[in-house]
Structure 1
Amino acid sequence: MSDLIAPTFSQNRTNPKPLSSEDTKLMDAAKKLEASFLAEMLKSAGFGKSRENLGGGAGEDQFGSFLVQAQAEAMVEKGGIGLAQSLFEALKESENE
């Protein structure tokens, strides 16, 4: 059952030691990029658009993008789709070359 739990990004999968401060900054940037990507995917899927019946009016239209961004950030914090980890590992690898 533990195999189904999403990985956390506080540690690199290939190297279980804690991240340095530079690596933490790099991971934070990778997480922000993944959240932006997921927010765009959610928008494309129709999230954040006001519903025609029982809609929230102008307020819902104005703040829908904030809701989508918050949902995307929550997805990343719960493990996301692995994009942040992949970006982090690729950037670390290119840094070592």
Structure 2
Amino acid sequence: MNPASLMTPTPSAPPPPTLPPAPQPTGSTRTDPLWKAAQSLEAGFLSELLRLSDPGPPESGFGGGAGEDQFRSFLFQAQAERMVAAGGIGLAERLYAGLSGRAA
């Protein structure tokens, strides 16, 4: 191997294209039923992601039992709703922007 070839920079690939930032609903749109529906859909999506990524109850120590299995979905839904309230992953904004543009 030629040591000089290690010092030569290799051409890098161009960065992938990105989407422009979605408009943030403000003011009266925060009470819009379409905005609430978009947030609800994002919370449902995040809840499902949390459910699928859950490793399950611990095998020892605290936890377990029928109650944990029955109420686990409520935990995921509550966590997802808090994630959306904190800004989420941007899905609600994209849905709202797309649907409100078509409704107009």
Following superposition of structure 1 onto structure 2, how do residues 66-81 of structure 1 map, counting pairs within 5 Å? Answer: 66-81=74-89
Q: Which AA in structure 2 matches 1:43?
A: R
2:58 to 30, 51, 55: 51
Greater RCO, CA 8 A, separation 6+ = 2
- Quick one: distance in 2 between partners of 1:20 and 1:79? 15
Per the TM alignment, residue 53 of structure 1 is displaced from its structure 2 partner at its CA by 1.5
Gaps of 5+ in 1: 1-11
Q: For residues 12-69 of structure 1, what are the alpha-carbon distances to aligned partners after superposition, in whole Å with 9 as ceiling and x for unaligned?
A: 53x75x2258x6111100000000000000011116x322112231111111110010
| Distance change in 2, residues 1:88/1:73 (3 Å) | same
Q: Is 1:19–2:22 an aligned residue pair? A: no
Q: Which AA in structure 2 matches 1:28?
A: K
Point out 4+ residue stretches in structure 1 off by more than 4 angstroms. Answer: none
Q: Cα RMSD (Å) of the superposition?
A: 2.0
Return the TM-score normalized by structure 1: 0.73
Q: How many residues align?
A: 81
- Quick one: distance in 1 between partners of 2:71 and 2:48? 15
Counterpart of 1:32 in structure 2 is 40
Gaps of 5+ in 2: 1-22
Aligned partners of 1:39 and 1:69 also within 8 Å: yes
| Distance change in 2, residues 1:20/1:74 (3 Å) | closer
- Quick one: distance in 1 between partners of 2:96 and 2:76? 24
SS at match of 1:19: helix
Identity of aligned residues (%): 47
